[in-house]
Structures are given as C-alpha cells and as structure tokens.
Structure 1
Amino acid sequence: MADIRNIEVIAPNFKQRLSGVTSTIIQLVPIQRALGQKIAVLGPGLPATLPSIRFRDLIHLWKAPAGRPCRVWHARRNVEMLPAIILRDLLRMKIRIVFTSASQRRHTGWSRYLIGRMDAVIATSSKTAAYLQVPNTVILHGIDTKRFRPATDKAEAKRALGLDPAKKIVGCFGRVRRQKGTDLFVDSMIALLPSRPDWCAVVAGRATGQHLAFESELKQRVAKVGLADRILFAGEHTNIPDWYRALDLFIAPQRWEGFGLTPLEAMASGVPVVATDVGAFSELIAGGGAETGVVIPADDVNAMVDGAAAFMDDLPRLAAAGANGLSRTSNSFAIEGEARAIGAIYERLMR
C-alpha cells in the first residue's frame, strides 16, 4: 500500500473485469514508477504488485503533495471522470483531471459534458482525436519491448508450444468473437492452407458466454473441410509472448477496435502483420519508410486472403517486413516513450 502523502498521480480503475483499459494501467504504471513518476492505482481488479491507495486515503486530497500545487487524477472511463469532478469542483480538493480517450465514435452528450470538464485530454490515435471536440494531445500506446521480443530460435519456440517446428505459422490472437473478426481469419485460412502445405494456423484466445456457440461453429467449419489438424484453437494463455515468438505471420482481422495492441505485440516480436483498417492499426503499421505489414479494408475476407498470400508466398518479403516491424516498434513504440509523453502532461498540470 502506497503512502498518499508521497503520491502525485492517481490512476483509478473502477471496473472489476479485465479490459483493455485495465491492461493499459497494469502495463504502464510500473514503467511510470521506474521513470520517477509518483503514481499509484485506486480500485479493484488490479494486481497486488502495483502501488495502490485506498478510498479512505482520498480525504488527504485537500492537501497538495510536497512541492506541488495539486495532484493529478488520470481517468480513462466516464465512471472515473465523474467522481474526480465532484472531488475537484464540489469538495474543492487539490486535483487536476486528465482523461484518456480511445473511443472512435461520436460521444454521447453526457460523455461530451464530462470530457469538457477535463484539465487535459489525451487521444490514443488520430482517429480518436477526430471525435473529440476539445483540445487534446495524441499519444499512441507503446509496447513492452522486453516482454515482446523475437525468438532467438524460432524452431525451438514452436517446439516448446507443441507446434511443428518445420511448419510456418500464421496466428490470430484475442477474444474469439465476431467483433474481433475470428471468423474472417478462419475463412481466410480455409482458403489459403489447402494449397500451402508448409503453413499452419493458430487461433489463441478465449470465447466467453454468448460467444461459445460462435467458436463452436468455427471449429465445425474447420473440421468439415478437413483442416482440424492445421487450424489450431489454442484457447487462452498467460504466456502469450511465447506464442508471438512462434509465429511467422500475424493477422489482426478485427471489424472494430478502439486502439488494438496486437499488431504492435507481433511487430515487437519480429513478426509481420496483416491488419484491418480499424482502431489505430494504420498508424501503427504504416510509415517509417519500410514495409512492416499491410493494412486491408475491414470485413473483407478476399482482401485478407490476398494480403496474407503476398507474405506466405514470398519468404524474403516476409523476413524483411518482420525485421522492419521490430525496428519500428523499438524506435517509435516502446512503452517508455508513451510513459514519458504522459508524464509531460502531468508535469504541466502540476506546475
């Protein structure tokens, strides 16, 4: 438990269930602490290893920390903005509020009201920024390049997961559901694999509740065409970096995405990417002057087949794009860069 007197930034997490926002907090806070930012989390659903404060500690927010005029409250959801506004405006506590938006849709009137009360707003992509009606700063998410890194021995990485080291592997990672485009990935593999015996495919991720029937139907579809031994449904794993290291090609088939870290995770692992034009995917993959993958229209299985085939049938291009992706993530998307950019906003508010 952290001492509130030594904390300058509070990162609330008012959602019990694991989500992309929660994952962002879990990954960022240790990096922010390592960079000297005096930050702690507040709320449920977070690892005990993170420095945290209790709700009863909020009474201390009437007093600013040593050497600062105020603290910063970094909200990422509506439910975290509202209490901060109450603390600041009604109770006159010494805080300033930052909100990070990942939404790529028109905000409701209530959300616009809350966002309009912020002291600073961060957008996770240029697409997100376009939906905001207030001044904002675009800070793209970064990736932990120590956790996500290339395999030193690709064959051994495959063997360790029970995969055939002689095969090339194309993967799709994330929750198994229609929004994530898992069916598009499966259909593209059904089209591609019969004529490419040296390739296999892996779907790694969990189906929950209403999506279990969706997953079952996909497995039946694969079995019907005789590819059950070449399109593997691996389920959910905690060692997902190991699965990236075993891949030769990654496909991000989402129909919709707020930001989407999977292309970065693949690129940091030295794996080229075929991704739909949703979330921040085009901003992650494009640019840098060297090919790291291709961006295709969303919900277009033919484009997915063509994009994947272009790499599967050209191994020198596959290798070059993987090396370029590794270089791009190391130079432009290390999580330390994201933490520093956010820290600069904190500093401005606490001057």
Structure 2
Amino acid sequence: MRPKVMQLCLSNGWGGLEMYPARIIPELARQGWEAHGLALEGSRVAASLEAAGVTPLTVPSRGQALWRVGRILAYLKAHGIEVIHCHKSSDLRLGALLATLRPGLRLFFTDHMGVTRPKRDPYHRWAYGRVTRLFSISEATRARNLQAFPLPAERIRRLYLGIDPAPYVADLGDHERATLRGELGVPEGAVAIGLPGRITPGKGQRVWVEALAALAENRPDSAWHGVMIGGLTAEEGSNAAFVEALRERVETLGLGARLTFAGFRADLPRCLQALDVVCTPSRNEAFGLTVIEAMAAGRPVVGASSGAIPELVSPDTGRLADPESPEAWAAALAELVDDGALRERLGVAGRTRVLEDFTLARHVEALVAEYGA
C-alpha cells in the first residue's frame, strides 16, 4: 500500500508558497507517495491541486476548518493518511490540533517566508511542539528559525527548494528566440537584462531601475534593454500603485525606450531563455526560486548580496550586488553587458549547478525520506 500525505494550505493568496503543493505532487507520485490536499473552497490553491490530479478536501474558511475537525479526522482515517504537511504558519493551529487528536500523525511544516519575530509564547510552544520536522528553505532562514522557534536544532532541517529543469534547459531555436525577444520589446543586437517576479517594493525593482539609469549614463553607447516581467495589477499579485510609481520614475529618468513592462507571462521558462542576464535584487529572499530558474535556463544572475541569494549565486554563476546600491548594480551589469563570453561561462556553470543540486526530484527525495523516517 502506498504511503499517503495530505498537503494542507488554507490560503487565498497566490505565490511560491501556494504553488508549492501542486508543484511537488507529480514528483511525489513518481517516488511512490499518494498525495491528498486540504484547501479553501474556490481558492487558486484548490484549483492548482485539481490541475495536478488531486481532488482536495475543501473548507469555507480557516475558522470553519477548526469547526469541521471531526470531518477532517474522519477523512484522514478513511484514506489511511499518516502524514500532514503544512505550508502557512496560520495553518499550524489546525495541523497541531489534528496531531493532538490523532496520536501517531506526523506533522511537517515548511517555513517558506522566513520568520521575522520570536514564536516562543505558550500557544506557539504547543503548536510547534506537535511538529515532527520544520523545514527551512535556506541556511539564512534556518539561522532565523533556530532563534525564533521553540524547537531543538535537530528538528529544524535545511531543505533547499527544487525545480523541474526540463522546461528551462530545452533551448529555444534562433527564430523562436528572436520572435520572443521582439514580443518583449528587445531591439535586435541588444543585451536583454530581465527582472522577473511580483512587482512590489520588497522585490527591489526600484533600485534596478535606478541602476539602469546609471548604466545608461555611464555607457551611453552600450546596446542593452531592460525587461520587467510580472503582473501589473493587484489581481496578478503585484502592487498597482508601486507599478505606476515605477512607470513614472522610468519616464523621469528617460528610460522609456530602454525598458519594457512585459506584464505577467505564463511562459516564464521560455522568457528566461530569451534574456541574456537575469536580475534578482530582492533584499531579503528566503530562498530565490527565480535564481535557480534563471540558472537552469543557462542565464547568468546578478543577485542581491543579502538573504539567501548568496547561497545560490557564486562567482562561477553570476554576480552579487548591494540591494541598496544602484551604483553597485550598474557596475555588475556593465561587466556582463560588455562580455558575452563571460555571460556564456556563467550560464553554463549555473545550469550545471541546478542539475546537480536543485532539481525537484532531489528535493522530493529528501522530503519523502523525512516523511517516512
């Protein structure tokens, strides 16, 4: 009989945390585990689980989930589920209650966000005391987790995220790449400098725009073009007011013809292959999924020298820059814009590292080892 796990995510949002359960389900199945899900009715998490082949148990709200704990326990018993994996700290209330009412249930929690304050009061001691293993997605977050959570060090494990590299390593043909670059507004012969991700103040788009302005001033004859990839509205996960402020700043700096707001793209793996340099200026990334996606696509990365990004980007795969310094970013970008051979070497090394260390198969292999321990 196949071992079974329930992925629990009662979130109405949509980001890396919410995408994670559906991302790992096919690989869980390949490695012999049967996945179940618990999500909010009508949420994108529920829809993503359906798309991954799992019909989730749903509840109207987190509060209703607590009232319906008997129904959830009956579901766990009927399906022989002995493992629950939570992905949002607010869901641990339910997870810990289930583990309390059903002795032997193994409870796992992934801290996708990076804790920002201590959680050692009586409630958190009770809730986290029921956690079999807490996963930190980087060494940077594990260091914070060790300080914040009421758990012994051996129950807090670093488990890097992973991706399926296949969509990223299938190189575009010359004609397809040229067509896509045209869609992104990149002039022929220009070095495409991309910044993918949600457009919000914490992701560093402002310092990137200022860095491009410095690059234009310092190298007026250099052929490059900036491409910002990400939703432009709140419905697409971005800060609409911040997007408008960025547009105004771009025009003020005279970058209107040198920077494209490409909007949300469902074909991000293809878009990454159409770029020449990928930037991740976020000040405090808990991991940096975009970093390994870009590396898998064979693209050099310029990343923030803070948070978890320095764990992923080395001098062999890209460059690091102070997330508060447009001048440092401009210098790093200038080096890569000027040297195509360097971009190629860094890209090849980055792809190799992803294939060795950051595949979804490797991530899930480590995950199910913990589930079944």
State if a TM-score over 0.5 links the two structures: yes
| Residue number among 98, 106, 115 corresponding to 1:96 in the alignment | 106
| Residue number among 177, 193, 202 corresponding to 1:170 in the alignment | 193
What is the CA–CA distance in structure 2 between the aligned matches of 1:38 and 1:196, rounded to whole Å? 57
Structure 1: where are the runs of 5+ without partners? Answer: none
Paired residue total: 336
Question: Conserved in 2, the CA contact under 8 Å of 1:29 and 1:39?
Answer: yes
* Residue equivalent to 1:200: 225
Q: Report the Cα offset of residue 205 of structure 1.
A: 0.7
Task: Deviation per CA, 1:285-341: give whole Å up to 9, x if none.
Answer: 13xxx7100122222212111111121112211110011111111111111100100
Question: Conserved in 2, the CA contact under 8 Å of 1:151 and 1:246?
Answer: no
Distance 1:220 1:88, change over 3 A: closer
| Residue number among 146, 155, 179 corresponding to 2:166 in the alignment | 146
Question: Conserved in 2, the CA contact under 8 Å of 1:150 and 1:268?
Answer: no
Q: Which has the higher helix share?
A: 2
Q: Aligned residues: percent identity?
A: 26
What is the CA–CA distance in structure 1 between the aligned matches of 2:221 and 2:88, rounded to whole Å? 45
* Residue equivalent to 1:115: 128
Within 5 A, what are the aligned runs for 1:1-351?
Answer: 8-44=4-40, 45-46=44-45, 47=48, 48-50=50-52, 51-54=54-57, 56=71, 58-62=73-77, 65=80, 71-89=82-100, 91-92=101-102, 94-102=104-112, 103-109=114-120, 110-111=123-124, 113-133=126-146, 134=151, 135=154, 136-149=156-169, 151-153=171-173, 156-161=176-181, 162=183, 163-193=186-216, 195-209=220-234, 211-286=239-314, 291-348=316-373
Distance 1:273 1:57, change over 3 A: same
Task: Deviation per CA, 1:255-310: give whole Å up to 9, x if none.
Answer: 22222211111100000001003332111113xxx710012222221211111112
Q: Report the Cα offset of residue 79 of structure 1.
A: 2.4
Distance 1:154 1:57, change over 3 A: farther
> TM-score when scaled to structure 1?
0.88
Structure 2: where are the runs of 5+ without partners? Answer: 59-70
> TM-score when scaled to structure 2?
0.83
Question: Conserved in 1, the CA contact under 8 Å of 2:161 and 2:360?
Answer: yes
Q: Report the Cα offset of residue 57 of structure 1.
A: 5.5
- Classify the secondary structure of the residue corresponding to 1:316: helix
Q: Report the Cα offset of residue 111 of structure 1.
A: 4.4
- Classify the secondary structure of the residue corresponding to 2:250: helix
Give the root-mean-square deviation of aligned CA atoms.
Answer: 2.3
Q: Report the Cα offset of residue 156 of structure 1.
A: 3.0
* Residue equivalent to 2:64: none
What is the CA–CA distance in structure 1 between the aligned matches of 2:128 and 2:331, rounded to whole Å? 41
What is the CA–CA distance in structure 1 between the aligned matches of 2:124 and 2:196, rounded to whole Å? 31
**Which sits farther off after the overlay, 149-158 or 272-281?**
149-158
Amino acid at match of 1:11: Q
- Classify the secondary structure of the residue corresponding to 2:372: helix
Question: Conserved in 2, the CA contact under 8 Å of 1:169 and 1:249?
Answer: yes
Amino acid at match of 1:42: L
